[in-house]
Amino acid sequence: MAYLAPSEFVAKMIDAGESKVFMSTRDTLIRAYMAGATLALAAAFAITINVTTGVPLLGAVLFPVGFVMLYLMGFDLLTGVFVLCPLALIDKRPGVTIGGVLRNWGLVFVGNFAGAFTVAVMMAIIVTFGFTTPPDKVGMAIGVIGESRTVGYAAHGAAGMLTLFIRGMLCNWMVSMGVVGAMISTSVSGKVIAMWMPIMLFFFMTFEHSIVNMFLFPSGLLLGGKFSIMDYLIWNEIPTVVGNLVGGLAFTGLTLYATHAKTGPKRNLG
């Protein structure tokens, strides 16, 4: 059958986490770089759709094409390894240590950022004809997003920070379900459908995704957005990363592991 039972795909999640912990630095960085670049291009695609059509739902429906492509190619997002690598540690796989998990997270973060930033520079060049003209409509839209989702949160103080953190949690709850979705089917069409649904949801709901933001906010700064690098780090990227970690691991990784890899004792009905 094309569909795997939960106990089967959870075993695949643990195996995947173990393999990523032991992956070479070279392969980890290359895969993370390409994941960040691919997702950034998909974000630019979705924003272009939103601006040109005025229909945000259409952008959300089509944005998952980037996520699908990068996972079919075997690339890695930070939001995915946040969920998979700790499962190998919790499952006590030989040689898997906290240091190994943190090493993987650090390398994937660097690779994702480098890939997303590369596309941010490319898109900034495209929408300004090599910085010789003011940004076009798409470029101006990216700058507005950067402002509203940094200083916009800061204007609300602690309540803004809480909102940002919760949006980060909800985001990776959905994104990590997309990561798992790639494992629940042995057919390409099954994988695509399972990945598409939660990614569409997170994008339309404007939840905060740390790697998408690695594209949006550097792009916004390059295109004249009225916020600073510190605004980006403190009032978006850092809280979003923490929220992504907590949401993905708590709502997806640990819940699936607890009930499908380590099931509770069966009741005696006799």
Residues 8-58: tens digit of each pLDDT: 999 999 999 999 999 999 999 999 999 999 999 999 999 999 999 999 999
pLDDT at 1: 55
Tokens representing residue 121 in the block: 């520079």
Residues 153-183: tens digit of each pLDDT: 999 999 999 999 999 999 999 999 999 999 9
pLDDT at 263: 85
Is residue 67 predicted with pLDDT exceeding 90?
A: yes
Tokens representing residue 219 in the block: 């792009």
Across the chain, mean pLDDT equals 96
CA neighbor of 77 nearest in space, from 115, 125, 50, 24: 115
pTM of whole model > 0.85? yes
pLDDT at 14: 98
CA geometry: angle at 245 spanning 238 and 37, to 5°?
70
CA neighbor of 152 nearest in space, from 71, 208, 106: 208
Non-local (6+) Cβ contacts of 245 within 8 A are 82, 172
Give the CATH H-level superfamily of domain 6-261. Answer: Glycerol uptake facilitator protein. (1.20.1080.10)
53-57, 85-89, 192-196, 266-270, range with the lowest pLDDT: 266-270
Residue recorded with tokens 């792009």: 219
